[in-house]
Structure 1
Amino acid sequence: MASTIHDLPEALLSHILSLISEPRFRNSASLVSQKWRILERHTRTHLTLRGNIRDLLFHLPDCFTYVTHLDLSLLSPWGLSLSSSLSFMDEPSFLLARRLHLAFPSVISLTLYSRSYCTLSLFSPFFASIKHVKLVRWHQRPNQTPIGSDFVTIFENSGILRSIDLSCFYYWTDDLTHALEAYPMIGKNLVELNLLNFSLSEGFKSHEIIEITKICPNLKDFRIVCVFDPRYIGYVGDEALLAIPSNCKELRVLHLADISQGDRDIDEEGFSSEDAGFSIQSLVGFFSGLRLIEELVLDVWPNVRGSWVCLEALASRCPNLRSLELGCFHEICKAIESHLDGIALCQGLESLTIKNSADLNDFGLIAIGRGCSKLSKFEVRGCRKITMRGLRTMVCLLSKSLVEVKVSNCRYLDAPASVMAVEPIRDRIRRLHIDCIWDGEKPDNENEDELAVLSVDEFNELETKDDDDMIEEENRMKKRCRMSLDAESWLMMNGNIREYSTSNGYRLKTWACLEFLSLWIGVGELLTPLADVGLEDCPNLTEIHIKMEGDCRERPKPSQGTFGISSLVRYPRLSKMKLDCGDTIGYALTAPSGHMDLSLWERWFLNGIRSLTLNELDYWPPQDREVNQRSLSLPAAGLLAQCDSLRKLFIHGTAHEHFMMFLIRIPNLRDVQLRCDYYPAPENDMSTEMRVDSCCRFENKLNARQIPD
């Protein structure tokens, strides 16, 4: 007798449904039958609410009683205080809290936008059962706010709070330390504390880090922005560094990152102007106390010289380490002959990120490839001595494990060199980041012949040799690879030599497993050469991130009519895009004669986007920092309205109401968000860009349409 999936036991069917993470797929599954709907609701644990705040009480779903993780931070108008939005009601606090508590009785993790500390009082009934809370705020902290009041309401009502995430919440560092001192039992219960927020005006000082770790001795996951620069009072030195493992002995995850991420003084050689305020001996002691550590980030700004010594201590004393990120660490690997040292001894690493290591060269990369043989993710940024040959050799050594590579801001690794370096794993790599520098600087001692792949004649010569000659030739090529860092030799040893043996010396290469591509490109440059560097055939590419950066005011008017975004049509499965022009600076309304304003630049960026079949688009408009304006322009609104396939459109900025009305023309558009998720978020709520009534009118028209599923 034939059977179907409906005949499976409920326990097994529930397990299958619990493995589905995409909300749209879950919604489709719930429409199959009444049985499936019940099972889907019982297995859904994460829910993000969108819509208008004013409708929160009247249209709140009541069928998700098993949801444990609730996100209320994306309610629109985004960033508006909940208390002010419900001011038309007599008792908004009581009604809202009661309604939410009945609709989501199982919530243990809550995310919400708290523009004012008064907002948290609305959710005080929730906090008795909350174990994890994430606060979001990009608006400036109100000056009249009492010290620590943003956290007092939570701490007063939470008895089992285990995790706090403030990575997207603007506050003063004094607020948190003051609140933790007033509620020490909260600190003792915490196992996760995320303070990695680069929008803060200053990082945590040395004494604040020591105090936090004393109050929270049971932390297993601790992330924080610090001040490492010894020229500043309260910089992180030996005392604070050694206090962290001494006070928190159970740490598994630790992130220490310098607050000056975007403004670092690094010279042409890759060194910062100052040396770190802690010693190598202190680092050895620091690593010795982190015996349970699994993920470690030390992204400092001043130089850490001679670090191979402490990294060897890290390798021997932290056997569980799987992920490591280092910033401004120099001499991480001496790479003398065949001897492995320094970071190459961390043989259990699966993820490694190296930033601004001034003396890391090709020999160091090869040593890392030999020693860290389990790496599945590798990122290199700001390393100015490595070349394509060294990176390619490392990639060949890790060809069985490496699936994610990021290369950025490296002097000799432009787009063609970066793609050529990772080409040996093109049949297995899944995620890739490169800088779109089409004709970058070449090493002085490297000529074009050394960079090129082996010629057809060389391959034809090899094919005519007998077995003994081939063995001798292979040994010669092995020696050549070791001595001259020629990565193509390793391809022959791996049996991939015939990949290049074609009639014209080069054939179209397919990146069969590449699913995610991330690009950095300077403003004014074209995207069209992307295919020419070797990324023409990516049949499974589904998501792309493009980061545009630069000052439009210093650029001439582009000679080409478009940025080239339509060239991405060659990727047939591309459905998600993030186009980030947020760090593109220009004139909003005051462009001098002969200069383009931002609206004309936006037209240039987005021209041709209608040819792509995108389902989701995140767009950061360019900005005029003089007036803190990041707003969608008229040409941008008109071009986005031509994207007929869009279902989700998130604009990370503001927009005029009549510009937003253009988007109603998109037939399949279901979800539109205006997010001012940058610091400082605009404060002028009375402008036509931020007015609550404008958002409401747009949402009413959007939701009143008949949208095909």
Structure 2
Amino acid sequence: MAEVAAAGAGPSPLLDLPEPLLLLILGFLHDSRSRHRAALSCSRLLAAERLTRAAMALRGDPRTLDFLLLPPGFRFPALHRLDLSLISPWGHPLLSSTSASPTTYTTDPHHPDEIAERNAYVAARLAHYFPAVASLAVYSRDPSTLETLAPRWSATLHTIKLVRWHQRPLNLPAGADLEPILRTCPALTALDLSDFYCWTEDILPALAAHPAAAAKLTDLDLGLAGAGNGFLAHDLAAIARCCPNLRKLVAPCVFNPRYDDSVGDDALRSLASSCPRLTLLRLTEPFEPASASQREQAGVTAVGLVDFFARLPQLEDLTLDLQHDVLEAAPAMEALARRCPRVRFLTLGCFQGLCKAAWVHLDGIAVCGGLESLSMKNCQDLSDDSLAAIGRGCGRLASFAIQRCDRVTSAGIRKLVSARRSTLKEVSVLQCRFLNTAACLTALNPIRDRIESLEISCDWEEVEEEPANAANGCHHEDDEPANGATGCDNEDDDETAETSYESASKKCRYMEEFDNFSSWEMLRSLSLWLAAGQQLNPLISAGLDSCPRLEEISIKVEGDLRTCSRPSPVSVFGLSDLGAFQVLSKMKLDLSEAVGYALTAPTGHMDLAQWERFYLSGIESLENLYELDYWPPQDRDVNQRSLSLPAVALFQRSHGLRKLFVHGTTHEHFLSFFLKMPNLRDMQLREDYYPAPENDMMITEMRPESWLRFEVQLNNQPIPN
């Protein structure tokens, strides 16, 4: 279209199109970049794009004149989703009485009247450009930002997401962060605090102080990024009483029975009685997972869950992710299927006895036939027979995930995916004792040509000998009946051979039918978990050799690098092997849980700079890589996550990168490296580790002013296409 307008052979045909047809053309363009390019083809499309734009995320510094003095026509009257959480660099507040202003102002920026006047002017300009905002995301370092912004959209604002990864100001009264929006936004129905670092003690006082606003809330996400503790039983009950109209609730909770007021059956009953219209409920325990020998019996029981489910008939999405055991859960799952017929998404942690699979008839979770997504963690008695029963009973299952289920083998995975070949699209298998990478990929052969998303642990070692009871469902005499023990009687096997998935003859037929697939032709997203120091090189030979449509890969490395042996000078992690995936454009490389020495390392040990060289070597060979999210490794002793010189130098050689998001900091003089990347258009430093240091200067030479100078230089570079 741009070429037609520039040809000079007469008016563009687009000028003759009626307005409804122009809007229809834009309706086919969902990608932001495509809409921008179309809008540049002619003035009518530009005007139509601004009139119909529904969502926008802004970056930069609003205190500069370039932001404040935009042209008069720069208005988006239909825009209702506005993201301001990245608008100021380094997590500094958008509007605050304590933030320093750039040097573009001639008056004293620290004078209270000058700061208040500037903040009011910026808020007024934002309200002018975006008059109909209904959903707002904003970085709130302190309540002053919301005090200035929220009244500008008080009549239309119904959804707010707060973002903060810096420490909560210590002198704030409890609930002060939420008070401005609950007081000034009468139409507010949804509040998202999943990326907001605050205390659990801040929530209830704010809700109790504004009962009318709390009663109108229907969506409440209290994920509280970086939360080290959760809500106790009386807190959860009080929140439910304040918000009786909730339909969605996400909250971290304390299920540990050693706490006096831990969440148990009574707390769940109280929650269901106060909020009977819940459709989404996600309660998680925000603590490190304990080993099986250290776990105790939680205060949540199967009997209590039966009563709990009976009070939530509209439930569709349920997460109960505990770190302590819920025993004999099969009757509760059967009650869930009866009492909550709409349930489609289910995540359970430390639930034992979910499916005994003792007979031909389905039991436990296998009777939840409407499930579309099922995730099970730390279910120690989940067996291959259980997976076979789930495959038979859950006929709509599209997403399946297991983690730390130590009795599951490749045979069970194969039975499940064979039964659900027509529906299953997403699979996650993490940290299971008897499932190494090669065995798991082989077990997924029945859906190899259909699966679209795969998450797997990279374990290249051979698994130990699979016990007979884990492989075929047979149990020792001293096994408890709750583990699904049925004995290994040959007569029983003969009687159920025609109806049971344990039949050896059927297993052979599955293998002959599905082992011919050689390509993961529909796979678009791949997630890998690796232990610290492990290499990626065996990935291709393990079976992921042909993924013609793979667009996105996520790699998570976890462990203590200080205990790893020093790799040889020529050894690398193996990112160059990912060059075999021709359309790979997005990558997440998360080394945040890889711990090492940041400043000094003893003799014979590597510091984090050398480990970053090990992990990032070969990234330049990924020629089609368009976007990279990178979490540097960290030294927890000094709370430091910063880019080293080898990492910056290796990024510089990745010429195809257009977007680079670093979840950490770096030194000021390293920024010049990024300016030499020819296609780099969007570069961000995000200090989103919790809690981020209060004083940024203690861990880096970076300053907000130096980052602003870098942004100006980056934006002034000629960018092809």
Q: What TM-score, normalized by structure 2, do the two folds share? A: 0.89
1:227 equivalent in alignment to 2:281 = no
In the TM superposition, 1:392-403 aligns within 5 A as 392-403=414-425
1:464 aligned residue: none
1:594 equivalent in alignment to 2:616 = no
The code of the aligned residue for 1:394 comes to L
Query: Which range is displaced more, 654-663 or 693-702?
Result: 693-702
Is contact 1:333-1:342 (8 Å) kept?
yes
Q: Secondary structure at the match of 2:82?
A: strand
Query: Which range is displaced more, 681-690 or 374-383?
Result: 681-690
2:367 aligned residue: 345
Is contact 1:264-1:272 (8 Å) kept?
no
CA change 1:92–1:551 in 2 (3 A) is same
Is contact 2:360-2:496 (8 Å) kept?
no
2:407 aligned residue: 385
Q: Secondary structure at the match of 1:73?
A: strand
CA shift at 1:14, angstroms? 2.7
CA shift at 1:476, angstroms? 13
2:351 alignment partner, one of 305, 317, 329: 329
Q: Secondary structure at the match of 1:111?
A: strand
The code of the aligned residue for 2:510 comes to W
CA shift at 1:152, angstroms? 1.0
CA shift at 1:389, angstroms? 0.8
CA shift at 1:121, angstroms? 1.6
CA shift at 1:442, angstroms? 3.5
2:559 aligned residue: 550
Q: Secondary structure at the match of 1:203?
A: coil
In the TM superposition, 1:675-694 aligns within 5 A as 675-687=686-698, 688-694=700-706
Deviations 1:190-230 (A, max 9, x none): 01000123512310111111111111011111111100001
CA change 1:45–1:280 in 2 (3 A) is same
Q: Secondary structure at the match of 1:167?
A: strand
CA shift at 1:487, angstroms? 4.0
Q: Distance in 2 between matches of 1:581 and 1:609?
A: 15
The code of the aligned residue for 1:100 comes to L
Q: Secondary structure at the match of 2:178?
A: helix
2:711 alignment partner, one of 679, 699, 707: 699
Is contact 1:47-1:70 (8 Å) kept?
yes
In the TM superposition, 1:602-617 aligns within 5 A as 602-613=612-623, 614-617=625-628
Is contact 1:615-1:648 (8 Å) kept?
yes
CA shift at 1:66, angstroms? 1.9
CA shift at 1:405, angstroms? 0.3
Deviations 1:110-158 (A, max 9, x none): 1111111222222132341210000011111111111111111111111
1:37 alignment partner, one of 42, 46, 49: 46
CA change 1:690–1:290 in 2 (3 A) is farther
CA change 1:547–1:303 in 2 (3 A) is same
Q: Distance in 2 between matches of 1:195 and 1:480?
A: 44
Superposed CA RMSD in Å reads 2.3
Query: Which range is displaced more, 38-47 or 400-409?
Result: 38-47
2:162 aligned residue: 135
Query: Which range is displaced more, 58-67 or 400-409?
Result: 58-67
1:489 equivalent in alignment to 2:509 = yes
Query: Which range is displaced more, 22-31 or 226-235?
Result: 22-31
The code of the aligned residue for 1:646 comes to L
1:274 equivalent in alignment to 2:332 = no
1:264 alignment partner, one of 270, 289, 303: 289
2:571 aligned residue: 561
Is contact 1:60-1:103 (8 Å) kept?
no
Q: Secondary structure at the match of 1:188?
A: helix
Q: Secondary structure at the match of 2:349?
A: strand
The code of the aligned residue for 2:118 comes to P
Deviations 1:519-539 (A, max 9, x none): 001121111111111110100
In the TM superposition, 1:509-528 aligns within 5 A as 509-528=518-537
Q: Distance in 2 between matches of 1:480 and 1:141?
A: 57
Q: Distance in 2 between matches of 1:206 and 1:43?
A: 46
1:73 equivalent in alignment to 2:95 = no
CA change 1:152–1:537 in 2 (3 A) is same
1:161 aligned residue: 188
Deviations 1:15-60 (A, max 9, x none): 5534533221221221233332223222221110011243274255
CA shift at 1:480, angstroms? 9.3
1:303 equivalent in alignment to 2:307 = no
CA shift at 1:231, angstroms? 0.5
Is contact 1:127-1:154 (8 Å) kept?
no
1:92 equivalent in alignment to 2:122 = no
Work out the number of aligned pairs and report it: 666
1:314 equivalent in alignment to 2:324 = no
1:575 aligned residue: 585
Query: Which range is displaced more, 353-362 or 52-61?
Result: 52-61
1:621 alignment partner, one of 625, 629, 632: 632
1:150 equivalent in alignment to 2:177 = yes
Deviations 1:399-445 (A, max 9, x none): 00001000101111111112112121111110001111112423434
Structure 2 gaps, min length 5: 1-11, 102-108, 473-494
Deviations 1:285-307 (A, max 9, x none): 00111110111111111100000
CA change 1:384–1:60 in 2 (3 A) is farther
1:641 alignment partner, one of 624, 635, 652: 652
Is contact 1:69-1:108 (8 Å) kept?
yes
1:469 aligned residue: none
1:631 equivalent in alignment to 2:642 = yes
Deviations 1:658-691 (A, max 9, x none): 1121010111111000001110112223354441
Q: Distance in 2 between matches of 1:121 and 1:18?
A: 36
Q: Distance in 1 between matches of 2:348 and 2:20?
A: 45
Q: What TM-score, normalized by structure 1, do the two folds share? A: 0.90
Q: Distance in 1 between matches of 2:674 and 2:81?
A: 31
Q: Distance in 2 between matches of 1:398 and 1:59?
A: 58
CA shift at 1:337, angstroms? 2.7
CA change 1:127–1:659 in 2 (3 A) is same
Deviations 1:317-355 (A, max 9, x none): 111111111110000011023110100000001111011
Query: Which range is displaced more, 308-317 or 81-90?
Result: 81-90
Deviations 1:620-642 (A, max 9, x none): 00001000000000000000011
CA shift at 1:279, angstroms? 2.5
In the TM superposition, 1:390-469 aligns within 5 A as 390-445=412-467
CA change 1:339–1:119 in 2 (3 A) is same
Q: Secondary structure at the match of 2:540?
A: helix
1:49 aligned residue: 58
Q: Distance in 1 between matches of 2:183 and 2:29?
A: 37
Structure 1 gaps, min length 5: 451-474, 501-507
Is contact 1:54-1:85 (8 Å) kept?
no
2:143 alignment partner, one of 110, 117, 122: 117
Q: Distance in 2 between matches of 1:66 and 1:557?
A: 57
CA change 1:480–1:132 in 2 (3 A) is closer
The code of the aligned residue for 2:436 comes to D
CA change 1:369–1:216 in 2 (3 A) is same
Is contact 1:97-1:125 (8 Å) kept?
no
Q: Distance in 2 between matches of 1:486 and 1:633?
A: 55
CA change 1:477–1:341 in 2 (3 A) is closer
Is contact 1:53-1:85 (8 Å) kept?
no
The code of the aligned residue for 1:175 comes to D
Deviations 1:478-535 (A, max 9, x none): 789523497452254xxx36x54xxxxxxx8111110000000112111111111111
1:188 alignment partner, one of 188, 192, 215: 215
Deviations 1:338-378 (A, max 9, x none): 11010000000111101111100000000000000110100
CA change 1:400–1:7 in 2 (3 A) is farther
1:531 equivalent in alignment to 2:536 = no
Is contact 1:272-1:303 (8 Å) kept?
no
Q: Distance in 2 between matches of 1:85 and 1:318?
A: 54
1:454 aligned residue: none
CA change 1:7–1:256 in 2 (3 A) is farther
